[in-house]
Structures are given as structure tokens and as C-alpha cells.
Amino acid sequence: MKKNYLFTGIGFVLAGMILLGIALFTETRLESLLYGFTASTIIPGISMILRYFYWTRPKNRARYKERLENERIELNDELKNKLRDKSGCLAYRVGLLATCAAILVFSVLGKLEIIGESRLIVLFLFGYLVFQCTIGSVIYYYLLGKY
């Protein structure tokens, strides 16, 4: 396992400690978010550090090399690549449909005056929909030109 993995884990723990210090020593409305960010950086950081030390022990090195080889084979398997591409495409399409449905639902809720400021939500969702369609096309044409 690369030392970079260890350094990334240490970086996560340090970032979490900084966020914890900010949360403890300042009074702000974002305090609960800071505690959440603290947990979401310290816990993965500790996990990465422990994983690094586990896989670099001499008795686990052979198993780790075997695991890396299996992962390399899995990532380069043509059927699995095609299935990943297909599932990504379907997830993209379902996401677009869900965004359109959310726009419709929030528009109706706004017109029925169930939600007060639905216009802002609808505009945000519309902007997100335009962004998704645009970035989907940009990525498609980029990849088309690359291959």
C-alpha cells in the first residue's frame, strides 16, 4: 500500500481536528455542521490509517497483492465495464426524470400555496436540470472526440 494513503488519512484526521477546534471555540449558527464535518473527516481518516497499517504488516502483504490483482482484473473486465457504463447512463436518465418530476411537484405545491417560496426551489431545480443536460452533452462530445 502506498504511503500516500497514510498521509491522506493523517490529513483527514488533522482537518477534522481543526474543524473540531473551530466548532468548540467559536459561537456560530454553523456549529452543528462543523461537528458533522468533524465526524465525517476524522472517522474516515482513522479508518485509512488503520487500513494502511493492517495491509503493510508483513503477514498481510501477500494477501494485499492478491487483492490488488483481483481488483485490476475486475476493473478491466469488458462485461463489467459495459454494465457500469449502462448503469451510469440509466442513472443519469432516471435523475433527469426525477428532477423533472420534482419541478412539477414543487410547482403544483406552490400554486396550491402549500409551500410559500416554491418559485426559488423550481428555479434551482430548473438550473440543475439545464446543468445536467449541458454537462452530459459536453462529456459525450469530449469522449467522442477522444476515441
pLDDT by residue (tens digit) across 65-102? 999 999 888 888 899 889 989 999 999 999 999 999 99
Place of cell 402549500: 114
Q: Give the tens place of pLDDT for each residue, 19-58.
A: 999 999 998 888 999 999 999 999 999 999 999 999 999 9
Rg (CA), the chain: 23
Residues 6+ apart with CB under 8 A from 102: 125
At 134, which helix (H) or strand (E)? helix 118-146
Long-range contacts of 63-72 (CB under 8 A, 24+ apart): 64/1
- The pLDDT score that the predictor gives to residue 116 is 85
- Does residue 109 surpass a pLDDT of 90? yes
Rounded (10°) angle between helices 31-56 and 61-76: 110
Region 13-21: mean pLDDT is: 96
The pTM (predicted TM-score) of the whole model is 0.65
